[in-house]
Amino acid sequence: MTKDIEQRKRDHLNLAQDEGLKFSISAGFDQWRFVHNALPELDLQEIDTSTSLFGKQLSFPLLISSMSGGVQESLAFNESLAKAAEQVGCALGLGSIRAALEDRSVRDSFLIAREQAPTAVILANLGVAQIIGQRDLDPTITFCDELEADGLIIHLNSLQEAFQPQGDPHFRGALKAIRHWVREFPRPIIVKEVGQGLSVDAIQRLEDVGVQTVDIAGAGGSNWVSIEGERLPENQRVLKQTAHEFADWGEPTAEVLNKLKTDLTVIASGGLRRPLDLAKAIALGADLGGIAGPLVKQAVQSDVEAIVETLLVWKETLKMAMFGTGVATIQDFMGNHQLLKKVR
């Protein structure tokens, strides 16, 4: 792995903690409130937040979104997240495995996840730029077998690549490549953005080529254009200043969910900042919610206890929202717009 890729991964971990590099717009969940049900006709112990993903049981519908892998710091980072995911029963996405495919010496920073989370749903991750024109799936298949991954995320990050120093903004043929991988890859494929969001139209085009699971990864959380803009050197001042114009560029997650009508499995990540946002995302139609930002600092500090506590707060908030709206199962809660009212 080249030194610049290694440094980029370190930069990403550090800059993702900078509140000033998050979107200037919200993900839209603050536009919704739950309708309180004073007569739920339920006992609290009847509430069941459990669901499943790719044939495995989850205690509640949450994915720890992809963050890191491939550098020395990632081993402890992913170890902590994996331990927490195993304890609370949620899913875990890993950072891009490109580094592991290019350099065997960094594979442990990914493989540690399965060691620490033997029963959890674990998702590998690869950029669409790495699959365009790539007909040989065997190296990725082999590593995913070694990782015992339950699926592969293909992430779309055109604008991030366009602003990234030494980025690869060559995206012609992306949809054709995705179609090929969906047909030939032996594990489930999830297609996600990285923060600018999948529009309803983009989701439809993905569905048309056979994608069955999408992650909206909408605007409202970390803005990777802003992060890459921060990384640009002074000799690229024009591009650096241009990045400021994209502080609010993207599809807010809640807005996409509200408009989306699909039978696909939908993960809603991007701008879920408060635990109640997860409940709103599920009620708006998501099958799972995804979070990264609320866990970054704790993972950098390898504070497993703090990560577990944070995740349990998100789970308990979902449970209480279900009780407060009078819904006993997550299946009856999903996509139940009647539980919500728009306040803006």
> What pLDDT was estimated at residue 166?
82
C-alpha span between 188 and 320 (Å, rounded):
32
For the stretch 154-189, pLDDT in tens is 999 999 999 998 888 999 999 999 999 999 999 999
Mean local confidence (pLDDT), 238-262: 95
Terminal Cα-to-Cα distance of the chain (whole angstroms): 48
Q: Which tokens go with 207?
A: 């569905």
Q: Give the model's confidence band at 60: pLDDT under 50 very low, under 70 low, under 90 confident, else very high.
A: very high
Q: Which two three-digit tokens encode residue 279?
A: 């409940």
What was the pLDDT predicted at 257?
A: 97
Residue pair 270/218 in contact (Cβ under 8 Å)? The answer is yes
* Tokens describing residue 242: 């241009």
Round to whole Å and give the CA distance between 192 and 62: 15
> Average pLDDT for residues 10-15, to the nearest whole number?
62
Burial class (CB in 10 A: 0-12, 13-18, 19+), 38: exposed
For the chain, the average pLDDT equals 93
State residue 5's pLDDT score: 62
pLDDT of 344: 75
H helices of the chain, where?
Answer: 3-15, 72-88, 98-102, 108-116, 128-131, 138-147, 158-163, 174-184, 200-208, 224-231, 237-244, 253-259, 275-283, 293-300, 304-325, 330-333
Checking 184-188 for CB contacts under 8 A at 24+ apart, the result is 184/137, 185/137, 185/140, 185/141, 185/152, 186/141, 187/144, 187/149, 187/150, 187/151, 187/152, 188/54, 188/150, 188/151, 188/152, 188/212, 188/213
3-state secondary structure of 22: strand
HSE-up (13 A, CA, CB side) for residue 10: 9
Give pLDDT tens digits for 94-124. Answer: 999 998 998 888 999 999 999 999 999 999 9
Look at residue 191 in the predicted model and tell me its pLDDT.
98
Got the DSSP string for 321-342? Answer: HHHHHT--BHHHHTT-GGGEEE
pTM of the predicted model, to two decimals? 0.94
Confidence of residue 133 (pLDDT cuts 50, 70, 90): confident
The total number of residues shown for the chain amounts to 344
The stretch 249-275 carries a mean pLDDT of 97
Amino acid at 51: T
Most confident of 10-14, 53-57, 294-298: 53-57
pLDDT of amino acid 68: 82
Give the pLDDT score at 230: 87
CB count within 10 Å of CB 225 equals 26
Q: Is residue 8 pLDDT above 80, yes or no?
A: no
Domain boundaries, the chain: 3-342
Dihedrals phi, psi of 276, to nearest 5 degrees:
-70, -20
Span 141-162, average pLDDT: 96
Q: What is the pLDDT of residue 190?
A: 98
Q: What's the CATH code, domain 3-342?
A: 3.20.20.70
Q: What percent of the chain has pLDDT over 90?
A: 81
| Residues pairing with 222 in the sheet | 22
Mean predicted confidence (pLDDT) in 7-30: 73
Q: Does the pLDDT value for residue 251 go beyond 90?
A: yes
Place 70 in a pLDDT band, splitting at 50, 70 and 90: confident
